[in-house]
Amino acid sequence: PEQWYGVTYREDRDFVKNAISRMKAYRLKELVKHFQLEGKFLKGIGHNSGHINDTFVIEVLNLEGRIKRYIFQRINTKIFNNPEKLMENIEKITTHIGKKVEALGGDPLRETLTIVKTLDGKNFYVDEDNEVWRMYHYIEGAKTYMKVEKPEHMYKTGKALGKFQKQLSDFPVEDLYDTLPNFHNTAMRFENFKRALENNRAGRVDLVRDEIQFILSREKDTRVLIDLLEKGKLPLRVTHNDTKFNNIMIDEATDEGIAVIDLDTVMGGLSLYDFGDSMRSGATTALEDEEDLSKVNFSMELFEEYTRGFLETAGDTLNKEELDHLAFSAKVITLEQAIRFLGDYLDGDIYYKISKENHNLIRARNQIKLVKDMEANMESMKDIVNKYR
Ligand code: NDG
């Protein structure tokens, strides 16, 4: 929402951000009372990683005197405008995955997200300001990383994503609500970008002519996957659609990727969207908003590790067109992300949360650098895929 407790969001971000966290920290205790917590509230800690929702870790003291944790989130309803359907999707797929985990003797509380319901049995709570909140059990003994720390992480998260896609491969895609229609329709993202250019809402077009040109000259790439989907050559599957490296929880003891989280965008999509987005965010030597482009390189080693893991668990479910386009998908999803970041910069930073000046532009340049690297390495990337398919 533009309006936070009477303060306009865009006036002074830092001031507003701090005010919001103070306000929320104060209110967390009241808010979580509406959920089926197993214990007494101790504290809530802000968790600043996503670009969309606000996340907190809640600690309670349970009856045995032990600390139990929960993930508590304010859903950004400006983007996810039907929280009821969104949460229904999440409930359906986590139940589906949970059953599979249980059948194999695993622990669903560790291997997928589990919704904590409200006292009246609902999947979310709407507060007096119309803010929407939801809660999950915290997955203990595992963590997420903003950046890959060792190549093994890539192999293991690749395996985890492949497994996730496989677990959902028998879930009927038509049973899922299309939370964000055309989310990865890169051609449509390109059209929106052209509109942002024409509108020039923030008056920034002249500042970024080179970046704009880079994107405009790659129009053809933006249509490849969507055309193959429309022709029926690429199958519509249940996919995650936001497989950033930090959306896979890694076991602290074994480094295995144990659970895929942030399930807001799980809906019909292409397997390639998930593979490509993992490469964009994982097979890189820097964070997504690293400003010093000399530090931003696409890593062939990490690409290989992930591809090896992913094909090990999902390889046999993919068709020829999917396998043929794996390497390309890494490039096109990175290009799509550059389009989105630069588009948001041109619109005046209205979609992604930003925490510094030109944040979206910095992110866009970072993604463009990766696209360039991938273009230079495309043949070797295809060779790697061929080695493991
Ligand atoms: C957010 C976006 C994701 C994007 C990522 C970039 C939504 C719902 O930020 O698409 O790739 O870091 O727009 N999620 O997670």
pLDDT interval class at 54 (50, 70, 90): confident
DSSP 319: -
Q: Is the pLDDT of residue 4 over 50?
A: no
Give pLDDT tens digits for 96-144.
999 999 999 999 999 999 999 999 999 999 998 899 999 999 999 999 9
Q: Average the pLDDT over 299-315 and give the result.
A: 97
pLDDT interval class at 29 (50, 70, 90): confident
φ/ψ of 56, rounded to 5, equals -135, 150
Pocket of ligand 1 (CB under 6 A): 51-52, 79, 242, 244, 265, 288, 337
How many C-beta neighbours within 10 Å does residue 134 have?
24
Give pLDDT tens digits for 174-223.
999 999 999 999 999 999 999 999 999 999 999 999 999 999 999 999 99
Q: Quote ipTM for the complex.
A: 0.98
Q: Average the pLDDT over 277-285 and give the result.
A: 98
Cα-to-centroid distance, 163 and ligand 1 (Å): 22
Q: Is the pLDDT of residue 14 over 70?
A: no
Global confidence as pTM: 0.93
Report yes or no: 249 and 319 within 8 Å, Cβ to Cβ.
Answer: no
Structure tokens at 57: 């870790």
Within 246-356, where are the H helices? 271-282, 300-314, 320-324, 326-347
pLDDT computed for residue 5 by the predictor:
33
pLDDT computed for residue 6 by the predictor:
33
364 contacts: CB under 8 Å, gap ≥ 6? 208, 211, 338, 341, 342, 345
Q: Average the pLDDT over 34-46 and give the result.
A: 89
pLDDT interval class at 247 (50, 70, 90): very high
Ranges 5-19, 57-71, 367-381: which has the least confidence: 5-19
pLDDT computed for residue 47 by the predictor:
76
CA-proximal residue: ligand 1, atom 7 (nearest): 52
Q: Is the pLDDT of residue 19 over 80?
A: no
The larger pLDDT score, comparing residue 139 to residue 26, is at: 139
Which of 25, 79, 15, 88 lies closest to 50, judged by CA? 79
Q: Average the pLDDT over 317-321 and give the result.
A: 97
CA-proximal residue: ligand 1, atom 10 (nearest): 242
Q: Which of 53, 244, 333, 351 to mutate to test the pocket of ligand 1 (most atoms within 8 A of CB)?
A: 244
Cα-to-centroid distance, 242 and ligand 1 (Å): 6
pLDDT computed for residue 57 by the predictor:
87
**Which percentage of the chain shows pLDDT scores above 70?**
93
DSSP 340: H
Cα-to-centroid distance, 235 and ligand 1 (Å): 23
**Residues 186, 352: Cα–Cα separation, whole Å:** 18
Report yes or no: 70 and 116 within 8 Å, Cβ to Cβ.
Answer: yes
Q: Is the pLDDT of residue 170 over 80?
A: yes
* DSSP string for 154-181: HHHHHHHHHHHHHHTTTS-GGGS--SST
Mean pLDDT of all residues in the chain?
92
pLDDT computed for residue 162 by the predictor:
97
Q: Average the pLDDT over 360-364 and give the result.
A: 98
Cα-to-centroid distance, 41 and ligand 1 (Å): 31
